Amino acid sequence: YVDNAISEVLEVLEDENILDDTLIIVTSDHGEQLGQHVIWGHAGLHEAVIKIPLIMRCPKLLPQNLRVKGYAQHVDLVPTILEAAGIKTTIKFDGESLLKLIDGNEIREFAVCETWGERCIVKGEWKLIIHYETEIKKLKDVFLLKDHYKGWLPFLEKYGNIGIELYNIKKDPSETINLAKKEENVVKELKGLLEDWILGHLKGDVDPILVLEKYTQPQSIEYQKL
């Protein structure tokens, strides 16, 4: 389906004779876990969810058949599009233009992702996932409101008390061996980098991922209406 949809867009661009003048970006908001880590869906921050495709094409701007190295995140897309279009702005973005990667330059030392009750940081061969227990416990109560959310309970039960996961994603790309207890120095380093990143992005003194009081009252959410 996706291939056909993309081909339809390309055909229109070709018919209009603007295909080679157009920056085409194919990506996704997330991947899917198909049973890995007891999850069917896109919960969590394992590689199957956060390592997504990013394909760019513009013959007049980008070299062909080039696979670049470096960390790319969704926040980089707007700066990339603006630079590709030659648009200058004084707006300060969280991301960087990915065009810098073409020449082998790095735009960040590590990558950070976050979702409900979790954050992760990836640097080199290491990946650290931190679970915030207060979040998970409250979410468990939320998901019990409707039967069709009870499928999440195995995930919440398994990961609600883990606290920290550490993987060597080069040697263990499927993230099957948690090295958090064995590699305490790596955990300390990555946790410090992540905490510094959080402090640099907070607006105010409260970490929003830890504040879920509004989700603990059924009348304040929409789940019961689904």
pLDDT tens series, the chain, 226 aa: 889 999 999 999 999 999 999 999 999 999 888 777 767 778 789 998 999 999 999 999 999 999 998 899 999 999 999 999 999 999 999 999 999 999 888 899 999 998 877 899 999 999 999 987 654 555 555 555 556 555 666 666 655 556 899 999 999 999 999 999 999 999 999 999 999 998 888 777 777 666 654 444 444 444 444 3
Residue 126: strand pairing partners: 123, 168
Cα gap 13→98, rounded to integer Å? 23
Residue 214 belongs to domain spanning: 2-225
Rounded to two decimals, what is the model's pTM?
0.78
Domains in the chain: how many in total?
A: 1
Q: How far apart are CA 28 and CA 49, in angstroms?
A: 10
CATH number at residue 192: 3.40.720.10
